[in-house]
C-alpha cells in the first residue's frame, strides 16, 4: 500500500478470495508501525469507499459505521499491530474490495486491498464467466484477453470490470462498458444472454505481467472469472545470430592481424628505398651516381640466427668519369 509520503507499512495477506453464499471469511491486516487509529473500508464495484469500522489504540473491538453498525455478521479484532475483519454468512452484496488502513495525525496508510467474490451455487447453472487461457507472450507484442459472460433471462446492459493483480503492486482496476447488440446474443431455448468482451493490450512489457480478472454486474449480482495469468518474457536471441556474430568477430581479428603484418613489411621496404634516394640527392654534385639496393640473406648462418637477423640494405656506387 502507499501513502503520499512513500511506501506504506500496512500490508494485507491476499489479493483475491472466492467464497460461496452462506460461508464465512476472515481478512487479515498487519501494521508495521504503531498508529492511533485503525480502519476497515469496503469498495463495491464502481462505487466509492465505505467505512466499515474504526479501532483505536486501546479499543480492540472497533466502532462500526453506517450499514455495518449493529450488524452481527461483521466483527473486528485488533491487537499487537494486527487486525482481522470477520464476515459471517456471506451474501452476494458482500462482494467487493476490502481495505485496511492506519492513521496517525494527518497521515493515512492503506493496504493493498483484498477482493472478495461471493458466488451463488444456485445461479451457477445459468450465469457464469469464462476467460482466456493463461499463457506467456513476448515483449513488444500484443494480446487480446477474452471474457465470455452468460447471464439469466433479465435484460439490460452489463457493467464490465477488469482487475489486474501482480506480486509487485496492489490490484489495478480497468473499467469497460459493454452490452451492445453486436457483443451479446440471446438463446431462444434457455432465454439466457451470452456476451463477449475483449481487453486488448498492445506493446507488452514487464509491467503488464500479472493475473487479469473479469467481473460483470448483471441481474443484480456480481460475477467473477477465474482469472487469466499473463507472463511476459524478453525476446529470445537467435542461436544462429550468435554464431554469425562470433564468426564475424573472429574473421575481423584475423583480418586485422594480416593487415598489420602487411603494413609492417611495406614500411620496411619503403624505408630502404627512401634511404637510397636521399643519398643520391645529397651526392649528385659528384657526378652521375647509380645505386643498387641488394637484399642479402644470411644463407651460411644457422636457421635460428637467420630468423633473428634483419635484412640489410647494401648500396654500391658507380661513378662515371666525364670525358
User: pLDDT tens, 26-76?
Assistant: 999 988 777 788 899 999 887 889 999 998 877 777 899 999 999 999 999
CA-to-CA distance for 177 and 171, rounded, in angstroms? 19
- Which residue in 43, 34, 68 sits closest to 54, CA to CA? 68
Contacts of residue 106, defined as CB under 8 A and 6 or more positions apart, other chains included, come to none
pLDDT at 4: 40
3-state secondary structure of 189: coil
Confidence band, pLDDT 50/70/90 cuts, at residue 191: low
Look at the domain 122-232 and name its fold.
Immunoglobulin-like (2.60.40)
Nearest to 94 by CA among 186, 206, 12, 17: 17
* Beta bridge partners of residue 154, listed in sequence order: none
More confident residue, 110 or 277: 110
DSSP state of 1: -
- 141-178 per-position pLDDT tens digit: 899 999 888 876 665 566 788 888 876 555 667 766 65
What's the count of helices (H) and strands (E) in the chain, helices before strands? 2, 25
Name the grid cell of 144.
487480446
Distance of CA 245 to the CA centre of its chain: 28
42 - beta bridge partners? 50, 98
pLDDT the model gives residue 279: 47
Give the per-residue pLDDT at 25: 96
Among 247, 267, 243, 245, residue whose Cα is nearest residue 255: 247
Q: What is the pLDDT of residue 292?
A: 47
Which segment of 183-197, 232-246, 284-298 scores lowest on mean pLDDT?
284-298
pLDDT digits (tens, 9 = 90+) for 205-250: 888 888 898 888 776 678 888 889 999 887 645 566 778 888 989 9
pLDDT above 70 as % of the chain: 69
Q: 4-21: per-residue pLDDT in tens? A: 444 567 888 777 888 999
Q: Is the pLDDT of residue 192 over 60?
A: yes
Dmax over Cα atoms in the chain, in whole Å? Answer: 141
For residue 82, give the nearest of 45, 44, 35, 28 by alpha carbon: 28
List the end-to-end C-alpha distance of the chain, in Å, as a whole number: 112
Grid coordinates given for 6: 512513500
Out of 1.10.287.3510, 3.30.200.20, 3.40.50.10490, 2.60.40.10, the CATH code matching 10-119 is: 2.60.40.10
- Please report which helix (H) or strand (E) contains residue 273, including its range: helix 239-282
Grid cell for residue 68: 455495518
pLDDT of residue 316: 45
* Residue 144, strand partner residues: 200
Which candidate, 274, 311, 316, 276, places its Cα nearest to that of 296? 311
Query: Coil, strand or helix: which one is 228?
Result: strand
The C-alpha atoms of residue 60 and residue 49 are separated, in whole angstroms, by 23
Domain with CATH 2.60.40.10 in the chain: 10-119, 122-232
| Residue burial 91-111, b: 16+ Cβ < 10 Å; e: rest | eeebbbbbbbbbbeeeebbbb
DSSP characters over 45-74: TTS-EEEEEEEETT-SS-EE-GGGTT-TTE
Amino acid at each position: 500500500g502507499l501513502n503520499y509520503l512513500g511506501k506504506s507499512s500496512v500490508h494485507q495477506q491476499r489479493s483475491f478470495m472466492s467464497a460461496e453464499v452462506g460461508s464465512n471469511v476472515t481478512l487479515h491486516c498487519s501494521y508495521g508501525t504503531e498508529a492511533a487509529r485503525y480502519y476497515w473500508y469496503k469498495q463495491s464495484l464502481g462505487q466509492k469507499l465505505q467505512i466499515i469500522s474504526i479501532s483505536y489504540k486501546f479499543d480492540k473491538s472497533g466502532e462500526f459505521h453506517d450499514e455495518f453498525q449493529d450488524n452481527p455478521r461483521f466483527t473486528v479484532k485488533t491487537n499487537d499491530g494486527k487486525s482481522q475483519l470477520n464476515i459471517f454468512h456471506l451474501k452476494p452484496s458482500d462482494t467487493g474490495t476490502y481495505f485496511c488502513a492506519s492513521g496517525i495525525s494527518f497521515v493515512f496508510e492503506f493496504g493493498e486491498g483484498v477482493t472478495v467474490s461471493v458466488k451463488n451455487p444456485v445461479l451457477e447453472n445459468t450465469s457464469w464467466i469464462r476467460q482466456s487461457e493463461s499463457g506467456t507472450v513476448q515483449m513488444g507484442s500484443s494480446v487480446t484477453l477474452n471474457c465470455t459472460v452468460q447471464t439469466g433471462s433479465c435484460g439490460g446492459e452489463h457493467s464490465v470490470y477488469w482487475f489486474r493483480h501482480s506480486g509487485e503492486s496492489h490490484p489495478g482496476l480497468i473499467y469497460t462498458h459493454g452490452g451492445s447488440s453486436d457483443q451479446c446474443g440471446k438463446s431462444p431455448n434457455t432465454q439466457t444472454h451470452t456476451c463477449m468482451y475483449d481487453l486488448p493490450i498492445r506493446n507488452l512489457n514487464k509491467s503488464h505481467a500479472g493475473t487479469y480478472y473479469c467481473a460483470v454486474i448483471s441481474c443484480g449480482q456480481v460475477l467473477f472469472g477465474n482469472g487469466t495469468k499473463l507472463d511476459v518474457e524478453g525476446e529470445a536471441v537467435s542461436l544462429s545470430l550468435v554464431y554469425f556474430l562470433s564468426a564475424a568477430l573472429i574473421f575481423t581479428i584475423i583480418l586485422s592481424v594480416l593487415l598489420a603484418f602487411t603494413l609492417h613489411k611495406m614500411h620496411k621496404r619503403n624505408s630502404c628505398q627512401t634511404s637510397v634516394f636521399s643519398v643520391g640527392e645529397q651526392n649528385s654534385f659528384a657526378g652521375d651516381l647509380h645505386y643498387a639496393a641488394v637484399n642479402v640473406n644470411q644463407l651460411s648462418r644457422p636457421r635460428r640466427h637467420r630468423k633473428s637477423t634483419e635484412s640489410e640494405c647494401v648500396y654500391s656506387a658507380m661513378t662515371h668519369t666525364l670525358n
